[in-house]
Amino acid sequence: MDRDTAEAQVLQTANALFYERGIQAVGMDAIRDAAGVSLKRLYQLFPAKDELVEACLRERDRGVRNTLDRFTANAATPRDRVLAIFDWLDEWFREPDFRGCGFINAFGELGPSSPRVTAAVHDQKVWLHQHIGELVRMANGPDWLADQLFILANGAMVTASILGSAEPARQARTAAEHLLEAADVANTP
Amino acid sequence: MDRDTAEAQVLQTANALFYERGIQAVGMDAIRDAAGVSLKRLYQLFPAKDELVEACLRERDRGVRNTLDRFTANAATPRDRVLAIFDWLDEWFREPDFRGCGFINAFGELGPSSPRVTAAVHDQKVWLHQHIGELVRMANGPDWLADQLFILANGAMVTASILGSAEPARQARTAAEHLLEAADVANTP
DNA sequence: ACTGTCGTAGAACGATCGTTCTCGGCGCCC
DNA sequence: GGGCGCCGAGAACGATCGTTCTACGACAGT
């Protein structure tokens, strides 16, 4: 197997395993078996587990950005683009193997012991915050609205995973509508 | 040392260590050293680490309920009682060793592998949800408002810990004020 | 065809950790 | 007072895991 495809294979497989079982519960051997590469290759691609974990998070980050962009792209009005965030959450929460936000989980698991993980999680949340900020600005909403929607989105993620329900997405969406109203964001294109 | 004081000592010490460093990063030896009890005593109090972790979470749960009760008790109006939730968050986030919600962290770390932890976290979040529900009902607010405030509170916790800022408490509080307004909750005693 | 390089499979190592066992000492009851 | 049982300190055990090493096979260049 060629190096690039091996790397892609490892990232995808490891990401799935980490998300499903937790990071510390997945050994390098399990990743080797699932990805079908040798340990040697694994370690020449990622010299330590920490770096593999970070690479997985950054890969996951790329995926999230693409998915969210796709969701917000085909909304009719700026207001709908903001609300599309919560439609994305709704669809995500309904996936049968949804187990919460991989970044929040990784932070809870390794935040105190791995600066790499902390940084990767931090970066992705800062991006999400800024992205929401852009959507809000395009709808002529104030910055504080973006802060609130960001909190709402993160809250929906943890609430949905702990309670094992997709409802928080709809509840957060309704709350977002009220906050948009409070910020005087009209529904015009 | 007497059995009950040993148990209290262990719960308090272990809780602090778990919260500070993460659960899997703290070995039983570290708890023994910090609590000043023997391993034998530790294992006769809690036959396995899993059970110690669950007991710690339930102990933490008791603490949270007391603290939150104290905060909401001395609010002037029903509306202020609801908003007191976010004052509590604000004070909590400002504690120098704040590292997020211990329950959310534990769930991210052990959710997939420990049903005991999952149950303890679930129970505490259900309680928080219901408690917010009671506060909202006393303010004549609708049930959906409680759902939204619950999401907002959880979101503030993870946002504050990942971004390392106490700001989310105030931002969530402002959002809560808007949602209260949207739900027509007046500021009367 | 031979040699050298690369890759894989899998054993092996060293550290950590949860759990149990051993040993020595202290108090308690007949 | 002497046997008995409980307790504390720490060693020991067994499993797991991250990481490295070994042995062997495939392939390319001359």
The tokens of B13 are what?
């010490």
CA of B112 to C1' of C19 (A): 23
The tokens of B88 are what?
């509590």
Of A27, A35, A31, A47, nearest to A6 by C-alpha is: A35
Q: Is residue B51 very low, low, confident or very high in pLDDT (cuts 50, 70, 90)? A: very high
Q: Does residue A61 register a pLDDT over 80? A: yes
Over residues B145-158, the mean pLDDT reads 98
Instruction: Please give the pLDDT value at position A51.
Output: 94
Lowest mean pLDDT among A5-9, A13-17, A54-58, B165-169: A5-9
Q: Does residue A4 register a pLDDT over 80? A: no
Judge residue B91's burial from the number of C-beta atoms within 10 Å of its C-beta, 0-12 exposed, 13-18 middle, 19 or more buried. middle
Q: Does residue A38 register a pLDDT over 90? A: no
Over residues A156-161, the mean pLDDT reads 98
The percent helix, strand, coil of chain B (3-state, each to 5) is: 75, 0, 25
- % pLDDT > 70, chain B: 96
Q: CA of B40 to nearest chain A CA: how many angstroms apart? A: 27
Q: Tell me the chain B residues in contact with residue A106 when contact means C-beta distances shorter than 8 Å.
A: 108
How far is Cα of residue A94 from the mean position of the Cα atoms in its chain?
A: 15
In one-letter notation, the amino acid at residue B182 is: A
Q: Is residue B189 very low, low, confident or very high in pLDDT (cuts 50, 70, 90)? A: low
pLDDT tens digit string along A63-75? 999 999 998 988 8
Q: CA of A115 to nearest chain B CA: how many angstroms apart? A: 12
The tokens of B45 are what?
């109090």
Instruction: Please give the pLDDT value at position B74.
Output: 84
**CA closest to B160 among chain A residues:** A151
Q: Which residue has the higher pLDDT, A62 or B4?
A: A62
Q: Tell me the chain A residues in contact with residue B105 when contact means C-beta distances shorter than 8 Å.
A: 107-109, 111
Over residues B96-117, the mean pLDDT reads 95
